[in-house]
Chain A
Amino acid sequence: MAFLLRRLAFYLAAFLVAATINFFLPRLMPGDPIQIMFASAGSELSLENLNALKLTFGFIDAPLHEQYFAYLQSVFTGDLGRSIKYFPLPVTELLGRALVWTVGLMGIATVIAFTLGSLLGVFAAWRRGRLIDSVISLTAIFSSSVPAVVVSLIMLFVFGYTLGWFPNGYAADPLIDPAWNWEYISSVLYHGTLPMLTLVFVLMGGFAVTMRNNMINLLGEDYIVMARAKGLSDNNVMLWYAARNALLPTVSSLAIAIGTVLGGSLVTEVVFNYPGLGNTLYQAIIARDYPVIQGQLLIMTAAMLISNFVVDLSYVLLDPRLKKA
């Protein structure tokens, strides 16, 4: 219990620090968003437009500490302001739309990669020394050392452009209305296949290797020998005795993985033009859409903190040794 409380206190402190950094970051940046919009619109906007824009977005000149407290207040009440590029859409709504796609894509990809990777790792560990172990290990090494951007581009090239089996962008066919019917859902699945495969490939390797190593470290343990001596089937021992215990450290790596997930899907989303959080952040950075950049960094940090806390919680539940602390 004390353990949990200490962690909670830490997370709150971390969040506060993140919010503060978040506040100062855009103010340290050169240039302001009005100038960017002005510059990005090419020569379409004139001097006259500029003045009108400045008035519209009202860049306040209040003293810094006042701005800071107002900012903190708005953060804790969930008001992340309005996007500049998509004015007057609130940041929360913009991120909400993107969140669905990222959670869907990344969430599912991570789950599949974790399951697949772990199973492969378990299998490789169980059959170590044989050919299948070498094959799995080498494939895992390879998939985790190739940049996601490379895998995405190659997938896009082979399956998107050359073979034309899958579409080259979007979450779904834009001319189909979002609805709970097969037409839309199948379009979503169809469009999501390539990015999903890319992400699974990239993530799988890490999980497989970790699981394999953990398993191997456990295999010599007495309780495994005991289980085998009892006459339990290979699979039974593999899954219910070895794997279950190897799971613990893997779960903690899962929490770290969520951070990688949020970042790792970014390039894939950009390459496949998938309207997820990563793509949104990228577009916001290019457009210097401060409210969106700030909001997103904050939300990502919060997500990391929460997932870390959940892992801590599960640790306490899974590992009886910690319950006492």
Chain B
Amino acid sequence: MKLFAQLLQNKKAMTGLVILTIIILVAIFAPLLTEYSPVKRVGRPHQAPSWDHWMGTTRLGHDVFSRLVHGARVSLAVGFGAGLLITLIGTVLGIIAGYKGGVVDEVINFFTNMVLVVPNLPLLLVLAAFIGQASPLVIAIILGLTSWAWGVRVTRSETLSIRQRDFVKSAEMLGEPGWRIMLFEIFPNLISIVGINFIGSVIFAVITEATLEFLGLGDPNTVSWGIMLYNAQNAAALAVGAWWDILAPCFALAFLGLGLALINFAIDEIANPRLRTGGMLNRWTRMVRLGEGKL
């Protein structure tokens, strides 16, 4: 697709994609990257990084590197899973609200505003606490079910502006059923918005999952970056000087966040060329001066 091709040319997107790919590959090939099991005691407590243990050991004697690479699986799964759910609900509701208008729009709007008004993290905190040991799957589900509101707003406003365009009007006059119009006429024009929404949701899901687990509301049996932070915090890693225990998951999360954010920014740039920076902007500016589009 045209978008994808443009994405590949964009330096930011490339960097972001490379980062993301590295992390995904690490997650997939985790067992091959380390000889240690992430849940067995393989060393003494809080050993500093060494040739045997590249990132040292945790309080319980687990290998930090092993937990990091295995943990990538859970963090990615929850991130993308929840992100998908959030985007799906948000897009579907947004398109319906924007296209149908009238009562349907009012109702969806009402609920959206309602959900938007409750502060997100405190609500999630209370929910997670009620559920008890929230497994990553449960976290993904509650994230999905509470965070779609922003997406609806954005999608809806875009849908509203597309709705007035000629090709939509002509499709209606030809008698195409509503759902076909929404799916085949409107949706394809929202790809970049949906893309941004999706990546944004993934970032949000990754951050929130890590936060919930850090606060102790996750399932301590799982191996994920958030649980690693939780264990390190409980073992007072910083106070006893075991910096590797807490910094490893920190940097992993930062790295993933960076990758995703770069991709997101790039999509935004491509969709809206005036937002570009650096080399891409120069290229486009040149094109404009040659007669195309508004600066």
What residues of chain A have their CB less than 8 Å away from a CB belonging to chain B? Answer: 10, 14, 17-18, 25, 28-30, 128-129, 131, 133-134, 137-138, 141-142, 144-150, 153-154, 156-157, 160-161, 209, 212-213, 216-217, 219-220, 256, 259-260, 262-264, 266-267, 270, 278, 281-282, 285-286, 293, 296-297, 300-301, 304-305, 308
Query: Which of A131, A133, A296, A308 is in CB contact (< 8 Å) with B117?
Result: A308
7 A-B pairs in the complex with CB atoms less than 8 angstroms apart: A141-B264, A147-B257, A150-B254, A156-B238, A157-B238, A259-B116, A281-B125
Taking CB atoms, residues of chain A closer than 8 Å to B275 are 212-213, 216
Nearest first, the 3 closest Cβ-Cβ pairs linking A and B are A263-B121, A145-B261, A145-B257
15 additional A-B pairs beyond A145-B261, A264-B121, A305-B117, beta carbons within 8 Å, are A10-B110, A14-B113, A131-B278, A138-B12, A145-B257, A147-B257, A149-B210, A150-B253, A153-B229, A161-B239, A212-B275, A216-B275, A263-B119, A263-B121, A304-B118
Taking CB atoms, residues of chain B closer than 8 Å to A301 are 117-119
Distance in Å from the Cβ of A290 to the closest Cβ of chain B? 11
Please determine whether B114 and A17 come into contact, CB atoms closer than 8 angstroms.
Answer: yes
Whether a CB of chain A sits under 8 angstroms from the CB of B130 is: yes
CA A220 to CA B125, docked complex, whole Å: 44
Query: Which of B116, B129, B229 is in CB contact (< 8 Å) with A256?
Result: B116
Total number of A-B contacts with CB less than 8 angstroms? 145
Please determine whether A300 and B229 come into contact, CB atoms closer than 8 angstroms.
Answer: no
CA A262 to CA B257, docked complex, whole Å: 22
Please determine whether A300 and B119 come into contact, CB atoms closer than 8 angstroms.
Answer: yes
CA A256 to CA B215, docked complex, whole Å: 24
Distance in Å from the Cβ of B76 to the closest Cβ of chain A? 15
Q: Which of B93-128 contact A (CB under 8 A)?
A: 110, 113-114, 116-123, 125-126
- Given A259-B119, A266-B121, A285-B125, does the pair A145, B258 have CB atoms closer than 8 Å? yes
Please determine whether A145 and B203 come into contact, CB atoms closer than 8 angstroms.
Answer: yes
Q: Which of B213-252 contact A (CB under 8 A)?
A: 214-216, 229, 238-239, 243, 246-247, 250
Whether a CB of chain A sits under 8 angstroms from the CB of B281 is: yes
Please determine whether A263 and B113 come into contact, CB atoms closer than 8 angstroms.
Answer: no
Taking CB atoms, residues of chain B closer than 8 Å to A18 are 117-118
Whether a CB of chain A sits under 8 angstroms from the CB of B268 is: yes
Distance in Å from the Cβ of B249 to the closest Cβ of chain A? 8
Taking CB atoms, residues of chain B closer than 8 Å to A304 are 117-119
Taking CB atoms, residues of chain B closer than 8 Å to A293 are 126
- Interface size class on chain B is 35 or more
CA A286 to CA B126, docked complex, whole Å: 10
Whether a CB of chain A sits under 8 angstroms from the CB of B260 is: yes
Distance in Å from the Cβ of B39 to the closest Cβ of chain A? 23
Taking CB atoms, residues of chain B closer than 8 Å to A297 are 118, 122-123, 126
Whether a CB of chain A sits under 8 angstroms from the CB of B37 is: no
Taking CB atoms, residues of chain A closer than 8 Å to B120 are 259-260, 263
Whether a CB of chain A sits under 8 angstroms from the CB of B187 is: no
Taking CB atoms, residues of chain B closer than 8 Å to A286 are 129, 216
Taking CB atoms, residues of chain B closer than 8 Å to A28 are 130
Whether a CB of chain A sits under 8 angstroms from the CB of B294 is: yes
Query: Which of A146, A260, A267 is in CB contact (< 8 Å) with B257?
Result: A146
Distance in Å from the Cβ of B276 to the closest Cβ of chain A? 8
Distance in Å from the Cβ of A321 to the closest Cβ of chain B? 16
Query: Which of A25, A128, A138, A161 is in CB contact (< 8 Å) with B126?
Result: A25
Query: Which of A129, A212, A282 is in CB contact (< 8 Å) with B215?
Result: A282
Query: Which of A30, A133, A154, A220 is in CB contact (< 8 Å) with B295?
Result: A220
CA A17 to CA B110, docked complex, whole Å: 12
Taking CB atoms, residues of chain B closer than 8 Å to A266 are 121-122, 125
Please determine whether A154 and B257 come into contact, CB atoms closer than 8 angstroms.
Answer: no
Whether a CB of chain A sits under 8 angstroms from the CB of B6 is: no
Please determine whether B261 and A149 come into contact, CB atoms closer than 8 angstroms.
Answer: no
Please determine whether A281 and B243 come into contact, CB atoms closer than 8 angstroms.
Answer: no
Please determine whether A146 and B295 come into contact, CB atoms closer than 8 angstroms.
Answer: no
Please determine whether B277 and A144 come into contact, CB atoms closer than 8 angstroms.
Answer: no
CA A209 to CA B1, docked complex, whole Å: 27
Please determine whether B268 and A262 come into contact, CB atoms closer than 8 angstroms.
Answer: no
Whether a CB of chain A sits under 8 angstroms from the CB of B141 is: no
Distance in Å from the Cβ of B125 to the closest Cβ of chain A? 6
